[in-house]
Amino acid sequence: MSPKPGIGRADDKRTAAGEHLKAADRYIKADEFEKAMQEVEKCLAIDPGNFYALAFKDRINDAIQEKSKKEKDIEKPSPVEKRHPAEKEEAERKAEEEKRREEERKREEARRREDAERIKAEEEERRQKAGEETRRIEEKKRELEEELRRKEEELRVKAEEEGLRRAEIEARRLEEKRKELEEELRQKAEEEALRRTEEDARRLEEERRRIEEETRRKAEGEFLNLQEELRRKADEDVKERIEEELSKRLDEELRRREEVESELGAEEEGRRQAKQKKIQQFLAKARELLAAREFEDALDEISKVYIIDPSSKEAESLEDDIRATQKEEGKLRKDRTRSGSEETAETYKQALKKVWADGKLSAKDVKTMKELRASLGISEDQHEKLEEEAKLDCYNDAVRKAWSDGTLSPDEIDHLETLADRLDISPGQLKEIERAARKVFQKK
């Protein structure tokens, strides 16, 4: 903590003045009064109102006068010796009186020195008390500054938590909107597929019934015609020929009927295989979401399987695995503590992944991410690093999704190439991500 303005300079002045007074005291004891007076003047130049310097000055002046008087007394013969005895006695009385006054003066000077020492001690005590008070004030100031820093830290943490909460709310809103759109598209696709399947099934059933009815009517008509012909013709050879022709026609009709039934069976097998392929696609998507720890989305894929096949054992087994992993993940998440800065960065990265999912960033997305970056306190350097990671994650997720069935279709290849170009993925990164994805799904 820095001292108050002026306190340091006052201490330096006091120290310098004290040094001059100590030097003056040494010169006085050595009877070097001129040098002592010079030190006192230096002290007064620093601190004109210094009480000790003024006392020393009076003391030095008195000492100089006393020394000068003694020197004069030594040089001149005592006038007492030349005077009459009465005058001598008077002179002795005056000398005694002078001596008494000198002793009184010395006592007064001693008293003044004692007072000066006492005042000096009191001044020193006051200075020490002032120093202690200053230290106490500084300590109080440090405590207040520490309390202020603590309050500022609490406010900063609260602001970060509020920003994180707003970001999570915004991310949830975006995620819910995405899910709503996906659900709407899925429902429309399923409704369209179901409508087409039902339409095909109805058309095939009508065709089958029409063929059966036509075949039946035709066979009955031909059979009646042949019977009538047999009745009209009594000749045995004609009868045998007609019966043989009837038999051939019946065999031909049965063969045609078997072909129709075979075609209908093939159509039914095709629909069954299509359903099974759709189920496998939903299960593969659920496994992919499970690997990405997106448990609710994975359970949504399982529910799609139940719509097609409510008794699917494979879906039941995978659902058990998802719920067990979700429970374990929830327990680990409760035990795991993460710093505010890491959570903030992860939240911002997830938001980046959502807006970069299709490889395009709209003006609205740019504005939204800028506002989110400001609210979370993300620096430009952090933004660039997290954006690069988010792009790589988006492309990695797209590759894993495309490889989920073990192969890549031409449309999937075109989509991945377009996405890599939009996300600015380097050739080296492309090879590494695709190689890793192939290894994972080839093992499966």
Q: What is the pLDDT of residue 1?
A: 44
Phi-psi region of 424 (alpha: psi -120 to 50; beta: other; left: phi over 0): left
Q: With a cut of 60, say whether residue 192 has pLDDT above it.
A: yes
The stretch 406-420 carries a mean pLDDT of 83
DSSP states along 141-190? HHHHHHHHHHHHHHHHHHHHHHHHHHHHHHHHHHHHHHHHHHHHHHHHHH
What's the pTM value of the predicted model, to 2 decimals? 0.27
Question: At 243, is the pLDDT very low, low, confident or very high (cuts 50, 70, 90)?
Answer: low
pLDDT digits (tens, 9 = 90+) for 244-275: 765 676 677 667 666 656 655 666 677 788 88
Report the 3 state secondary structure along 355-368.
HCCCCCCCHHHHHH
- Joined together, the tokens standing for residue 395 give 């492309």
- Joined together, the tokens standing for residue 379 give 């620096």
**CA 240 to centroid of chain Cα atoms:** 97
d(CA 242, CA 235): 11
Q: What is the pLDDT of residue 81?
A: 47
pLDDT digits (tens, 9 = 90+) for 26-83: 988 888 888 888 998 999 898 888 888 888 888 888 888 887 777 766 555 444 444 4
Burial of residue 422 (CB within 10 Å: 0-12, 13-18, 19+) is middle
- Joined together, the tokens standing for residue 150 give 């603590």
Best mean pLDDT range from 233-242, 284-293, 330-339: 284-293
The stretch 392-405 carries a mean pLDDT of 84
Please state which of the ranges 162-166, 250-254, 355-359 shows the lowest mean pLDDT: 250-254
For residues 90 and 220, which has the higher predicted lDDT (pLDDT)? Answer: 90
Give the whole-number percent of the chain exceeding pLDDT 70: 78
The stretch 415-442 carries a mean pLDDT of 80
Give the whole-number percent of the chain exceeding pLDDT 90: 1
**Phi, psi values for residue 292, rounded to 5°:** -85, 5
pLDDT digits (tens, 9 = 90+) for 305-325: 888 888 888 888 888 888 888
Could you give all domains of the chain from N- to C-terminal order, each with its CATH number? 7-151 (1.25.40), 233-336 (no CATH), 339-444 (no CATH)
d(CA 372, CA 369): 5
Q: What is the pLDDT of residue 25?
A: 87
Mean pLDDT (the chain) is: 78
The sign of the dihedral angle between the CA atoms of 306, 311, 312, 315 is positive
